[in-house]
Amino acid sequence: MKVEKRKISSLKGIGEKTEKLFQKIGVDTVEDLIRYYPKGFEIFEDPISVGEVEEGKVCTVAGMVFGRIQVSTNSKMQITTLHLKDVTGTLKVIWYRMPFLRNTLAKGGTLVLRGRIVRKKNEIVMEHPEIFYPSSKYEEKRDTMQPVYSLTAGLTNNSVIKAVKQALSFLDDEQDILPEELRLKYSFPKYEEAIYAMHFPREKEDFVRARKRFVFEEFLLFILSLRRMKESENRSENPFHFADRPEIEQFLGALPYHLTNAQEKVWTEIKSDMQSENVMSRLVQGDVGSGKTIIAFLALLLSALNGYQGALMAPTEVLAVQHYENISEMLEKYKIPLQAELLTGSMTMSQKKKAYARIESGEAAIIIGTHALIQEKVLYRNLALVVTDEQHRFGVRQRETLAQKGKTPHILVMSATPIPRTLAIILYGDLDISIINEMPKNRLPIKNCVVNTEYREKAYRFMRKQVLEGRQCYVICPMVEESESLDAENVIDYSQMLAEELGDGIHVGCLHGKMKQKEKDEIMSAFGKNEIQILVSTTVVEVGIDVPNATVMLIENAERFGLAQLHQLRGRVGRGGYQSYCIFMSASKSDETKERLEILNRSNDGFFIAGEDLRLRGPGDLFGIRQSGILDFKIADVFQDAEVLKIAGEEANKILKRDPELKDPSYKKIKNHIDHKIQQIMLETTL
């Protein structure tokens, strides 16, 4: 049986219950498991002394238990506390919900603990560490790299490791899809060797070489797929006629501001596309706050004023509602005789039926919504334009779905991710690219500061002052790398601590990725109405709503994010007429971290920051610094792997120039993979 068709249940020890847990993490076959790479590694180095521990880092320390081990109970859980002592000092250590440790660890002797160092109430603490007792148990793992996988409730890291080890027995170099000429040209390891090194590397260099090979492969397949899709789409002729409309010039003249030169240029490019012989497929890249939304509105107006329909797709219901309200307000304020329509999944059946009727009749000229816009029940009268957010690239299948309801619509993708143009051209090879690289003149620049954790109390006082003046604040906490399930707990704990710190009268809310979409929408909506004054969140807030009243963004452990993502997060504030502030708090003392964060301190220009991020990254950590998901790559990182991306782009161009149909036998596996990938994309039914 082929490895890609062999079910995960064929492995020893995986019954029906465990199989369902694996399916929850997207692993259905042995091939899926082989390609289910670790999200990181535990690297077991020599223990350090208590005096050397650093806040924000995972450290291993050895010492003796000093004094009594205590178990206390707060409103949420039992906390076990001990003090670990060596010749350099004493370290406070805490565990949650593990009261039995008091008896286990009270026997004396040397103890090795490994855990993250955090600051709690101005005290350095090791939180919930792994225990090696007796200390000789640590020797067995020293100088090894142990894989750490993303999990779901009920699935342990050890059970994934056991399953992966079994799956690797099915490996065969015949499964390699990379042409031998490319493998040899770049000295990549063989397939079987590389897969082993991705899961169980003997040393860091083995993993780095293997990762580079699969990053190259991932980029190459992605770019070849894009190029082939673009070829098939380029034949689409423009079935619509868009005449210039005087109402648009009147609207622009009535606005309380002038479009920037960059906005004018991009609007001209979009209008030219919509009036050309072929259907538009364009990406508008614009920094946070550069005014992309008004450009999208102009395109929707051009479509609607010519008697067609335009649709705007948002990644969340809250954002869709906000777009709908803003567009409706502009149509009314500037007396433009068009009707906007909202369509989201949470609307009642009665509301949906009325919306369907207005869309089908053509009464609704501009339709705003989520993926509900492409469901079967939605029939358009004459849809000519779809504007969508980069978070949900409008795939081939969606275009076909709409084309079947009428004619092939023009596509406009809006992106706030500042990717350097050289990379954008490779990544968005199926789209023409426009860039808005100029900020509106009425925008107050955000004031930035990079501080260490000793500034935290002062930051809280500043946030309280802003709230008392009627403003609102965000606090961003990074994901907890050791366990995805702790992500939500981390934010909840922080929000509770902050609520206690700030006292009554200030409502602190929290938001995290484990919440259901409805809960997220409710929290964001409450924040938008100022029912919540301080929102503690993970990075899910990146795709939120515009809250012009929010003036402070505090980012904890800023060193754990990429510059591009930090810039995106900063863009959540500074959207109103008030002076806004971003506080980057870092526990790291390294010069490299200081240099990186200082770039954000000096500049609010996303494209400059992206370029500097690119310059400073280098090979970096094993998995890079956490970036936002610009595109859905398994292991590749657009910034960290920029050089590999460029090489893959060049090789893809050479391959297609030499053999456009990929008929050469050496490309057979690549062609099969790409055809399968395109087929998958075309079968997608969600945005």
Say which residue the tokens 């490779």 belong to: 426
What does the block give as tokens for 142?
Answer: 């020293």
Burial level of 645, CB count in 10 A (0-12/13-18/19+)?
Answer: buried
Stronger pLDDT, 463 or 281, i.e. the higher one: 463
Task: Tell me whether domains 244-434 and 445-615 share a fold.
Answer: yes
Give the confidence band of 686 by pLDDT, cuts at 50, 70, 90.
very low
Helical residues (DSSP H) of 362-480, grouped into ranges: 396-404, 421-427, 456-468
Pairing between β-strand 447-452 and β-strand 40-43 as defined by DSSP bridges: unpaired
Q: Are 250 and 417 in contact (CB under 8 A)?
A: no
Residue 658 vs residues 34, 92, 654: alpha-carbon distances, Å: 32, 64, 6
Domain boundaries, the chain: 1-44+142-169, 50-138, 172-233+649-686, 244-434, 445-615
How much of the chain, in percent, has pLDDT values that exceed 70? 89
| SS3 label, residue 624 | coil
pLDDT digits (tens, 9 = 90+) for 46-62: 899 999 998 878 899 99
DSSP β-bridge partners for residue 449? 583
Q: Are 176 and 193 in contact (CB under 8 A)?
A: no
∠ Cα 632 215 612 (to 5°): 80
Query: What is the distance of C-alpha 170 from the center of its chain?
Result: 33
- For residue 367, the cross-strand partners are 311, 341
pLDDT given at position 620: 44
Helices assigned H by DSSP within 334-455 = 349-361, 396-404, 421-427
pLDDT exceeds cutoff 80 at 677 = no
Find where tokens 């709690």 sit.
Answer: 120
CATH entry, 1-44+142-169, from 1.10.150, 3.90.1720, 1.10.3470, 1.25.10: 1.10.150
Dist. CA 111–CA 133, nearest whole Å: 6
- Residues 510, 536: contact at Cβ < 8 Å? yes
pLDDT score, position 482: 38
Does the structure show a pLDDT above 90 at 275?
A: yes
Residue 197 has pLDDT above 90, yes or no: yes
**pLDDT tens for residues 617-665?**
654 445 555 444 445 678 888 777 888 999 999 999 999 899 988 888 8
- What gap in Å lies between CA 148 and CA 151, rounded to an integer? 9
Is residue 475 pLDDT above 90, yes or no?
A: yes
Q: Which of 332-346, 393-407, 539-553 has the highest mean pLDDT?
A: 332-346
Contacts of 576 (CB under 8 A, 6+ apart): 548, 549, 550, 551
Q: Give the closest residue to 42 by CA, choosing from 213, 212, 214, 207.
A: 207
Residue 685 has pLDDT above 50, yes or no: no
In whole angstroms, give the CA distance from residue 362 to residue 365.
Answer: 6
The CA distance from 413 to 424, in Å, is 13
Architecture in CATH for domain 244-434? 3-Layer(aba) Sandwich (3.40)
Nearest to 224 by CA among 682, 644, 651, 680: 651
Residue 687 has pLDDT above 50, yes or no: no
Region 307-322 average pLDDT: 89
* C-beta atoms surrounding 339 within 10 Å: 15
At residue 353, what are phi and psi to the nearest 5 degrees?
-60, -40
161 vs 395: which has the higher pLDDT: 161
Report, as an integer, the average pLDDT of 78-101. Answer: 92
- The pLDDT of residue 395 is above 80: no
Mean pLDDT (whole number) for 123-147: 86
Maximum alpha-carbon separation in the chain: 85
Q: Token pair of 259, please?
A: 């479009």
Whole-angstrom distance, CA of residue 287 vs CA of residue 570: 11
Least confident of 214-218, 270-274, 475-479: 475-479
Q: Which amino acid is at 189?
A: P
What sections of 105-190 are H helices per DSSP? 136-141, 157-167, 180-185
Q: What is the DSSP string of 512-538?
A: -TTS-HHHHHHHHHHHHTTS-SEEEE-
pLDDT at 194: 96
Q: Lowest-confidence range among 51-55, 290-294, 402-406, 544-548? A: 402-406
For the cut 80, the answer to whether the pLDDT of residue 5 exceeds it is no
Flag whether pLDDT at 566 surpasses 60. Answer: yes
pLDDT of amino acid 139: 85
Please state the φ and ψ torsions of residue 287, each to the nearest 5 degrees. Answer: -60, 160
pLDDT at position 403 is 61
Terminal-residue alpha carbon distance, the chain = 34
Instruction: For residue 40, give the nearest of 148, 117, 136, 113 by alpha carbon.
Output: 148
Quote the DSSP letter at residue 573: S
Q: Which residues contact 246 (CB under 8 A, 6 or more apart)?
A: none
- Contact yes or no for 178/68 (Cβ under 8 A): no
pLDDT at 390: 64
- Is there a contact between 34 and 171 (Cβ–Cβ < 8 Å)? yes
**CB hemisphere CA count around 442 (13 angstroms):** 9
Amino acid letter, residue 50: V
In degrees and rounded to multiples of 5, residue 450 shows phi and psi of -105, 120
CB atoms closer than 10 angstroms to residue 168 = 17
- pLDDT at residue 292 is higher than 80: yes
Residues in CB range of 548: below 8 A, 6 or more apart: 575, 576, 577, 578
Lowest mean pLDDT across 441-445, 463-467, 577-581:
441-445
pLDDT for 299 equals 97
CB 10 within 8 A of CB 34: no
Nearest C-alpha neighbor of 478 from the set 550, 545, 417, 554: 554
Residues in the chain: 687
Residue 500 near residue 509 (C-beta atoms within 8 A):
no
- The reported pTM is 0.72
- Choice among 84-88, 178-182, 240-244, 317-321 with the minimum mean pLDDT: 317-321
| Residue 559 confidence class, pLDDT cut points 50, 70, 90 | confident
Output 490 or 46, whichever has higher pLDDT.
46
Q: What's the CA gap between 379 and 385, in Å, rounded?
A: 15
Residue 425 is predicted with a pLDDT of 80
Q: Sorting pLDDT into bands at 50, 70 and 90, what band is 485?
A: very low
Residue 420 has pLDDT above 80, yes or no: no
Residue type, 80: T
With beta carbons less than 8 A apart as the criterion, state whether 613 and 625 touch.
no
Which class in CATH covers the domain with range 445-615? alpha beta
Mean pLDDT value of segment 430-452: 85
Distance CA 311, CA 359 (A): 10
**Which residues are paired to 90 by β-bridges?**
85
On whether the CB atoms of residues 476 and 554 are closer than 8 A, the answer is yes
- Tell me which DSSP letter residue 170 carries: G
Q: Classify 422 as helix, strand or coil.
A: helix
d(CA 64, CA 46): 17
DSSP-assigned letter for residue 86: E
Q: Which residues contact 53 (CB under 8 A, 6 or more apart)?
A: 59, 61, 91, 117, 124, 126
Instruction: Kindly report, residue by residue over 323-346, the tens digit of the pLDDT.
Output: 999 999 999 999 999 999 999 988
Strands of 366-418 (E only): list them: 366-369, 383-389, 410-415
Classify 359 in phi/psi space as left (phi over 0), alpha (psi -120 to 50) or beta: alpha
Q: Give yes or no for a contact between 13 and 162, defined as CB atoms under 8 angstroms apart.
A: yes
Most confident of 118-132, 245-259, 508-522, 555-569: 245-259
pLDDT band at 611 (very low <50, low <70, confident <90, very high): confident
Check if the beta carbon of residue 388 is closer than 8 Å to that of residue 281.
Answer: no
**Mean pLDDT across 469-487:** 69
Rg of the chain taking only CA atoms, in angstroms = 27
Q: Which of the listed CATH numbers 3.40.50.1000, 2.40.50.140, 3.20.20.70, 3.40.50.620 matches domain 50-138?
A: 2.40.50.140
